[in-house]
């Protein structure tokens, strides 16, 4: 008896997830085809086969769907970075693998529609995602700092901010080899050996 | 005889410059006091004592004045970076001095009204200023590369992009000592000794 509501709730939840997924997918496809301004709630309802009244119960407007889409993409990117971390050797190779994956994602993202980016990269959900990314990278750097492989004269949080900003240069680069060089250059900034040899003060 | 028009033209030009300067200064003062949305052409005319009709001959709207103001600030920053370059010792100390001045300017700029920044940091005049900054830094890096003090495995243009993005982290920092550490970290990324010691490939 006690199981009935749980199963029912799970069914409802799965249904809701499916509606949300279908809506986000249809919207992403419409944006890819017609650009940001060519997307309406009516067309999304039509493409998904979801009634307009139902659609509005899930999302009040197109922008909220785009925000959900962007959230999902950020989530997937963060999950991918976690996977990269978990399959790399502990220490500097792990940091190098994660930073490489992040720089490559920025590099691939650079050619996306800049109108869409400008619209989506504002707002609180992006600030929260950046915060999660920053905490993820800081944790990696702190772990490696404990092994003595990176410079000790700069706090882990500052090294994290440095890494994230430096790697954003990937959005200005034109080929994958340059992205690789950017990661190497950025890593040289935080490695202990680099510091010892180059900071005479 | 031939001198008359030239003197007259110079007088007109000086007058125009004075009107432009007065307008920009009054607008900057109004923005500081009332924020971006609290500034009108009428108030600027009133504060400068310039007639409204005359003011509109110089600037079509408030935004164009703000753009001119921003241009002037960028020009002054670039001139300051040139002065810093010219009074520093040739080689790495020169690059360090210029990058420090740039990072400090970004650090001081971070607390400015973000509405104003968002409005002004779009548009072609900013892209052109970034281009000038990039060429200026690349020239410095190219000069030092010739002395063998920095890594040779990454093209000067890529090192320039790396430096400019990495130093933008200054906008996320909270004290001048952290800005100093950021510059040192960034420089470690491009120094030859750092590279040699840390890049085993």
DSSP per residue over B170-196, as a string?
GGG--SHHHHHHHHHHHHHHHBHHHHH
pLDDT of residue B113: 53
- CA–CA dist B75, B105 (Å, integer): 13
pLDDT digits (tens, 9 = 90+) for A139-186: 999 999 988 899 999 999 999 999 999 999 999 999 999 999 999 999
Report the pLDDT value the prediction gives residue A194, as an integer from 0 to 100: 43
Q: Which residues pair with B150 in a beta bridge?
A: B191
CB pairs under 8 A between A and B: 122
How many residues are recorded in chain B? 201
In angstroms, what separates the C-alpha of B135 from chain A's closest C-alpha? 15
What local confidence, expressed as pLDDT, does residue B117 receive? 57
- CA dihedral of B159, B163, B166, B171, whole degrees rounded to 10: -160
Indicate the SS3 state at residue A121: coil
Query: Closest approach of chain A CAs to the CA of B155, in angstroms?
Result: 9
Tell me whether residues B197 and A199 touch, CB distance under 8 A. Answer: no
> What is the number of other CB atoms lying within 10 angstroms of the CB of residue A97?
18
Grouping H, G, I as helix, E, B as strand and the rest as coil, residue B150 is: strand
d(CA B201, CA B13): 61
Count of other CB atoms within 10 angstroms of residue B186:
26
What is the pLDDT, as a whole number, of residue B143?
92
ipTM: 0.78
Residue segments in chain B with a per-residue pLDDT below the cut of 50 = 1, 194-201
Q: State the residue for tokens 């609180």.
A: A124
> How far apart are the C-alpha atoms of A180 and A17, rounded to whole Å?
38
Contact B165 A162 (CB under 8 A): no
Here the tokens at position A17 are: 């997830």
* Residue B36 Cα, gap to closest chain A Cα (Å): 19
Per-residue pLDDT, averaged over A53-68, amounts to: 92
State residue A32's pLDDT score.
86
Interface test with B, best of A110, A130, A141, A158 (most B CBs within 10 A): A158
- Residues A86-126 have pLDDT tens digits of 999 999 999 999 999 999 999 987 766 555 555 555 567 77
pLDDT for A12? 84
pLDDT given for residue A123 in this prediction: 65
Homologous superfamily assigned to B62-201:
Tetracycline Repressor, domain 2 (1.10.357.10)
Distance separating alpha carbons of residues A59 and A41, to the nearest angstrom:
9
Residues of chain B contacting A, Cβ within 8 Å: 151, 153-155, 158-159, 161-162, 164-169, 172-173, 178, 181-182, 184-191, 193-199
Average pLDDT, chain A: 86
Q: How far is CA B90 from CA B80, B98, B158, in A?
A: 17, 11, 21
Q: Cα(A163)–Cα(A183) distance, rounded to whole angstroms?
A: 9
The mean pLDDT of A1-24, rounded to a whole number, is 80
Architecture of the structural domain at A1-60 = Orthogonal Bundle (1.10)
Q: What is the pLDDT of residue B194?
A: 43
Domain range summary for chain A, segments of one domain joined by +? 1-60, 62-201
Residue of A nearest to B188 (CA): A189
Neighbours of B31 (CB within 10 A): 20
Contact B190, A194 (CB under 8 A): no
Query: With helix as H, strand as E and coil as C, how does A134-193 read?
Result: HHHHHHHHHHHHHCCCECCCCCHHHHHHHHHHHHHHHHHCCCHHHHHHHHHHHHHHHEHH
Is pLDDT larger for residue A36 or for residue B59?
B59
Closest residue in A to B192 (Cα) is A198
Whether residue B197 and residue A197 make contact (CB cut-off 8 A), yes or no, is yes
Nearest CA in chain A to B122: A118
- Length of chain A in residues, anyone? 201
Query: What is the helix (H) or strand (E) element at residue B72, kind and residue range?
Result: helix B62-86
Alpha carbon of B97: minimum distance to chain A alpha carbons (Å): 15
Chain B residue with the nearest C-alpha to that of A153: B181
Tokens of A85: 């971390």
């Amino acid at each position: 008896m006690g199981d009935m509501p749980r199963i029912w709730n799970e069914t409802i939840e799965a249904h809701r997830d499916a509606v949300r997924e279908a809506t986000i997918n249809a919207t992403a496809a419409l944006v890819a085809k017609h650009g940001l301004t060519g997307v309406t709630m009516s067309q999304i309802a039509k493409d998904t086969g979801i009634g307009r009244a139902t659609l509005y119960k899930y999302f009040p407007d197109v922008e909220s769907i785009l925000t959900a889409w962007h959230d999902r993409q950020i989530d997937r990117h963060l999950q991918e970075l976690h996977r990269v971390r978990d399959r790399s050797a502990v220490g500097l190779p792990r940091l190098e693998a994660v930073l490489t994956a992040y720089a490559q994602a920025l590099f691939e993202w650079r050619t996306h529609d800049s109108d869409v980016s400008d619209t989506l990269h504002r707002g609180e959900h992006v600030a929260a995602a950046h915060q999660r990314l920053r905490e993820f990278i800081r944790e990696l750097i702190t772990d490696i700092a404990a092994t003595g492989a990176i410079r000790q004269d700069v706090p882990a949080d500052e090294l994290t901010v440095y890494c994230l900003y430096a790697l954003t240069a990937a959005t200005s680069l034109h080929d994958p080899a340059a992205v690789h060089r950017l990661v190497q250059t950025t890593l040289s900034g935080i490695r202990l050996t680099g510091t010892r040899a180059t900071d005479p003060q």
